């Protein structure tokens, strides 16, 4: 059963203030302005039109299972043996969701975060992530094609670096010579994301 709240009551007046734009006064049921104890008309507290900020931005990332998402959902509790395991899974989902969302307060922050890869909608974020993955795959394919012209030793280094990771290897950067002129046998892979 719905509750009817009169605008003339204190609670009704407060609710009406938040439903009235700032550039207008709160009116009672007859259309007359409601006045405070000092006799001044009470002004509204709601926004005038659309206020674009604060604004939420999104970035797609891989979750713990490797699936690309902008927001993960809380798992079903019947898949966990006890409450402690379920609570840990819920905390992991919340932490993932916080990493995929960003709130900007003004236009400058919006431009800065947009340059860093944050998008307006989750669909745009998923599309941007797919474009990035395609660009990395193309760079790896170009590197593999260019590896045909490399020396046998360089080809072996690139092949070994590729077998050490599941990601696309776009380059192998050798470690520079030491002060005595000896070379170190280690190398560093250049991949899309830092491995944990």
Domains of the chain, by residue range, sit at 1-49, 55-121, 129-191
Low-confidence ranges of the chain (pLDDT < 50): none
Give the Cα separation of 192 and 108 in Å (integer): 28
Close Cβ partners of 59 (under 8 Å, ≥ 6 residues apart): 70, 99, 100, 102, 117, 118, 119, 125, 128, 129
Considering the entire predicted model, what is its pTM? Answer: 0.66
pLDDT tens per residue, range 166-177: 887 877 776 555
Do 167 and 194 touch, CB atoms closer than 8 A? no
The whole-number pLDDT of residue 112 equals 97
């Amino acid at each position: 059963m719905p509750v009817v709240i009169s605008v003339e009551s204190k609670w009704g007046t407060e609710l009406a203030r938040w439903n009235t734009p700032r550039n207008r006064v709160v009116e009672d049921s007859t259309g007359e302005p409601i006045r405070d104890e000092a006799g001044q008309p009470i002004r509204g507290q709601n926004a005038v039109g659309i206020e674009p900020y604060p604004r939420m931005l999104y970035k797609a990332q891989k979750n713990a299972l490797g699936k690309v998402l902008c927001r993960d959902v809380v798992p079903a509790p019947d898949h966990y043996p006890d409450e402690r395991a379920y609570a840990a899974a819920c905390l992991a989902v919340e932490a993932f969701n916080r990493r995929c969302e960003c709130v900007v307060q003004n236009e400058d922050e919006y431009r800065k975060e947009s340059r860093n890869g944050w998008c307006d909608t989750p669909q745009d974020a998923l599309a941007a992530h797919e474009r990035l993955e395609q660009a990395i795959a193309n760079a790896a394919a170009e590197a593999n094609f260019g590896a045909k012209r490399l020396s046998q030793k360089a080809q072996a280094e690139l092949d070994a670096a590729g077998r050490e990771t599941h990601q696309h290897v776009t380059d192998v950067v050798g470690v520079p010579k030491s002060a005595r002129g000896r070379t170190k046998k280690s190398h560093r892979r250049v991949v899309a994301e830092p491995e944990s």
